[in-house]
Amino acid sequence: MTEVHQTAIVDESAKLGENITIGPYSIVEAEVTIGNGTWVGPHVVIRSFTTIGKENKIFQFCSIGETPQHQGYAGEPTKLEIGERNTIREYCTINRGTANGLGATKIGNDNFIMAYAHIAHDCVLGDHIVFANGASLAGHVDIGDYAILGGFSLIHQFCKIGQHCITGIGCVCLQDVPPYIVAAGNPAKPFGINSKGLRRRNFSEQSIKLLNQAYRVVYRRSLDLQSAINEVEKMNGNNSEGISFSEFLRHSKRGIIR
């Protein structure tokens, strides 16, 4: 049974699934879709053109689907798309896309976004990502699966954060962060492969060894980036992790942290 608190304001055109809870004083605007089993706490604002999937938990005082903080935004009906089983804690702000960008901000499944995080316009998040408190993204940022952003990490616009990497507290990323590595500092610097995290996720020792070797080629041999990529590609063979590492390096547009 869907439960909407008597003090909540839900537009009659909003599409609510089954077994949804809308808490006290929350606002759900027109053109909003909320999937089955989603829980919305008190004092949450969900703006128009937002789609939320199944079994999400959105805690108090969040602003979901607000217009982008972009001077060129002229009121276009851009979107926010949130997947399934995400946890969004207190005071998080998530903005819609821009007409000149993707037209949408997209969040995948099974992500844990802690209090005071900010996700700006046109960002794309994968699955199983963790944002610690206060982590913030500028516009057009891509975050790979299983990435972990430490508390108050700041990611510059148009940067990409690779899968399975981790950033330290207060890390400031002005360039792309390759997958599988540890980054920390202001500006961010690399500190090796995230071996502990990869073992927790049952990566093979062979893959971890290869990634450590690839890291040393890129970061310890004083090679220019193109030469380092060529060396890593020779090492990879059919190893999928090594291939994704070198592909990320090859396609980076902002350059990688070094």
DSSP the chain: --EE-TT-EE-TT-EE-SS-EE-TT-EE-TTEEE-TT-EE-TT-EE-SSEEE-TT-EE-TT-EEEEPPS-TT--S---EEEE-SS-EE-TT-EEE---TTTTSEEEE-SS-EE-TT-EE-TT-EE-SS-EE-TT-EE-TT-EE-TT-EEPTT-EE-TT-EE-TT-EE-TT-EESSBB-TTEEEETTTTEEEEE-HHHHHHTT--HHHHHHHHHHHHHHHHS---HHHHHHHHHHHHTT-HHHHHHHHHHHH-SS-B--
Residues forming beta bridges with residue 86, ordered by sequence position: none
> Residues with catalytic annotation?
121-122, 139
Q: Is residue 175 within 8 Å of residue 257, measured between CB atoms?
A: yes
